[in-house]
Chain A
Amino acid sequence: MAVTLSHSLPVQTLPRTMQVGGVTVPVDLVTTGWPDPQMRLEDYDPEADLMTINMGPQHPSTHGVLRVKLWLDGETVVKAVPYVGYLHRGVEKLCEKLTYVQLTPIVDKNDYVSPMMNEMAINMAIENALGIEPPRRAQYMRSILAEIQRIGSHLISVGTWGLDMGGAIGGGATIFMFCMRERELLLDLFEELTGCRFHYNTHTVGGQRHDLPVGWDVKAKQVLARIVERSYEYEQFLVENPICRARARGVAVLDPLLAMECGASGPILRGSGVDFDLRRDAPYAAYGEIEVRVPTRTEGDALARAMVRVDEIRESARIASALLDGVPEGPICALKPVKLPGAVKLMEGETAYAAVEGPRGELGTYLVAQTDRKVGQHPYRLKIRSPSLHALSLLPYLCPGHTLADVVVIIGSLDPIMGEVDR
């Protein structure tokens, strides 16, 4: 059943649903015949005068260095091919040359909008391989920090999406400024806890590096309450602004079966009515001890994906406030503090996988251990399953049939972070 937390959208009758592979999806969104991403242009219309243009890699609305090659018939997109790799930094290869305690500050830079999730995913993978569990206080802190980071990431996503759609004329600059204003409060919280506004290096194998300062929880709750109060303003902007409504409603309706086929997760999947969230379905950290309500939407369009993000801001604030009430006392790290690069030792060939629900979906880390006489213990292979890459694979399916201006809205609603796509 779809949970609707907001009241600004017109009340809808619950959609007819069907079961596909154990998952409930709304019937109305299921379509037959997806656009063919491998379509030959001769098959389209031999008479048509197609124009090929490149969008990016330096285009301001592609959220980084994404290049999309578009074939246009007039103003309508016939075929779209995304090209990635302009931000490739070889992080996975670099991780093979570093020991386990050195990985955390490096993988921080993958998804540079939510570094907390990256740290958490990789440390959970190493802990799974070691077979240890962090103390309860560290688990609570991880969940709280993850939720606050999720709010910050969604604020950027919604804000820049408004900038894509409206710009200064349509009021998009307003929501961008509002979102950045609120995000500043969250970054101040992180600075007080870890000493850095970004790229914190606050997780370590077995727990946390920095304990909560005195009075931090009170301040955090005030900030969260303020953000919940202001989140209704974003919703008002997205739903009631005529420009935003005209550009986003009904654009790029995503078939949930296609989304699952492409491996999309997170708000994209939930915007299409699939009720899936790792925090509830495979609890990690402290999520098992608290009720996680998963907001879903059944429209499946670009607006629905943004509304899911706004709903998640409120839900994350609720979870973080509830967890802040019950932070247990005790140590914050299960292992002895790191003193040497080779402090954590794994057996040769040991493997582990850990997945967290990042702001963009399932962020997974797969680890194979290796022992090298020269380097010591380090990963033989580290694979990062980034949700943004899977989201971008939807682009060739969503773009055809829409106008060129809609492509900007579609990319923004998928919310890709190129640092995570290319790694």
Chain B
Amino acid sequence: MSILDPFRIGFRNFFRPMITEPLPWKQTRQRSERYRASFALVHDEHGEEACIGCKMCEKICPSQIITVTTGAKAKSEATGKMRGTCADFTLDLNACIICELCVQVCPTDAIVMVRVQERPSFDRNELMLTMEKLYANEQKKQNAWADGTKLIAMQDPGAGGGKD
């Protein structure tokens, strides 16, 4: 170890290729297909609100952040059958742990996750996803891969070649 060693090391590294990469300015990160971030409520194929207010998501939520108020039963204009409706739906994203269980249990695929996060805000109430915000998310944000039917089909022991 002599006093010239640092110079020798520096000289040798001068000719090596760089391992650092420039910061990718103005490039958004490519998220994978199954990426999930926030929530949306969707309309079904007839253009009606898909949520029937069955409270399944409220029951399974581990952090108990979903509040559903069931509305009166009404006749569907498209199919003419009686169906449940949802009067109010609130999801507190402040305490959400993004576990995807509410998406899995939804019988009508009404609640889905979207790929775009909510903007950070100075006000906690802005992260309370009300019914209006959730339906607006359906229009504004791209849906994530999963919905209830797909998740159930993936896990079903009968689907993948019989019970092991």
Contact = CB atoms under 8 A, between A and B. Distances in A.
Interface of A: 98, 101-106, 108-109, 135-137, 188, 191-196, 199, 201, 204, 207-211, 213, 329-341
11 contacts: A98-B62, A201-B99, A209-B100, A209-B154, A330-B164, A331-B157, A331-B159, A332-B155, A335-B157, A339-B104, A341-B60
B34 interface: yes
Q: Find the residue from A104, A106, A210, A329 having the highest chain B CB count within 10 A.
A: A210
Nearest to B1: A242
B38 to A, nearest CB: 12
Contact of A102 (B31, B101, B163): B101
Contacts of A204: 155
Contacts of A104: 99
B151 interface: yes
B164 A136 contact: yes
B108 to A, nearest CB: 13
Judged by DSSP, the binding face of B is loop
A84 to B, nearest CB: 24
B163 A334 contact: yes
B105 to A, nearest CB: 6
A200 to B, nearest CB: 9
Contacts of B152: 337, 339
B154 A105 contact: no
A80 to B, nearest CB: 35
B45 interface: no
Nearest to B160: A331
Q: Which 9 A-B pairs have the closest CB atoms?
A: A105-B99, A135-B164, A195-B34, A331-B160, A192-B32, A102-B62, A337-B155, A331-B157, A201-B99
Interface in B126-151: 144-146, 151
A195 B99 contact: no
A329 B101 contact: no
B160 A329 contact: yes
A333 B156 CA distance: 7
B60 A331 contact: no
B155 A201 contact: no
A334 B157 contact: yes
Contacts of A337: 104, 151-152, 155-156
B60 A332 contact: no
A403 B59 CA distance: 54
A332 B154 contact: yes
Contacts of B101: 101-102, 105, 201, 338
A108 to B, nearest CB: 8
Nearest to A191: B32
B161 interface: yes
Given A105-B97, A210-B34, 16 more contacts: A101-B101, A104-B99, A109-B97, A191-B34, A191-B35, A194-B34, A195-B32, A201-B101, A213-B33, A331-B155, A331-B157, A332-B154, A333-B155, A334-B164, A338-B105, A340-B56
B91 to A, nearest CB: 16
Q: Find the residue from B31, B97, B151, B164 having the highest chain A CB count within 10 A.
A: B164
B40 to A, nearest CB: 15
B87 interface: no
A210 B154 contact: yes
B72 interface: no
A252 B60 CA distance: 48
Given A102-B62, A195-B35, A213-B34, A207 B105 contact: no
Contacts of A108: 97
Interface string B37-78: 000000000000000000010011010000000000000000
A339 B105 contact: yes
A183 to B, nearest CB: 16
Nearest to A197: B35
Contacts of B151: 209, 337
